[in-house]
Amino acid sequence: MSQYFSKMGRLLIAGFILTSCIGCDQFTKYMATQSLKDSSTQSFLNDTVRLQYALNSGGFLSIGSSFSPELRFGFFIGLNSLVLMIVSGIIIARWNMKLSQFVLLLFFLAGGLGNLIDRVFQNGLVTDFLNIGIGPIRTGIFNVADIAVFVSGILLIIITRKTTPVENRIETAQP
């Protein structure tokens, strides 16, 4: 019975994370499009946070935005889909992994799906609207899905390195 609850509990966690993260991402992109598309940049907290509408044709920090539209569309949708299929496969194959890893992989998957939805329905473009910085040091423009992917990816690396014995890390790092 406890094994069933564990599976059911993880299924509920997965459903909650995927629907809430993707829903939040898509809702904030919709609101950004409605309120920021035809307006100037809005600044908050002494210009630490800026809201500005942008359609990103590339990946992280607009990498690949100079590709032809056809190549860009195929590359980002194809690559994103492949990575998301691998992550989904890991979640399914290692369903009983540590709960922290399970949750972080779900956030990574949800963020990737949020941006994939944009690319599929906006001809390869992703809606971005957040910019953070202090003075001249600023991030690129990003969205909620980017936060989910970036933060969960960094945390996965950190917790994986903490749980992997040092000897194994050294052995696998050598050629």
| Interacting residues of 36 by C-beta distance below 8 A, sequence separation 6+ | 42, 51, 52, 53, 129
Neighbouring CB atoms inside 10 A of 163's CB total 10
From the list 25, 38, 118, 146, the catalytic residue is: 146
Task: List residues bridging with 42 in a β-sheet.
Answer: 51
- Per the annotation, the verdict on 146 as an active-site residue is yes
- 128 catalytic? Reply is yes
* Cα distances (angstroms) measured from residue 115 to each of 15, 91, 112: 18, 19, 5
Contact (Cβ atoms closer than 8 angstroms) between residue 127 and residue 55: yes
Give the helix/strand (H/E) hosting 43: strand 42-44
Q: Find the helix or strand (DSSP H, E) in which 97 lies.
A: none
β-sheet bridge partners, residue 43:
50
Active site residues per annotation? 128, 146
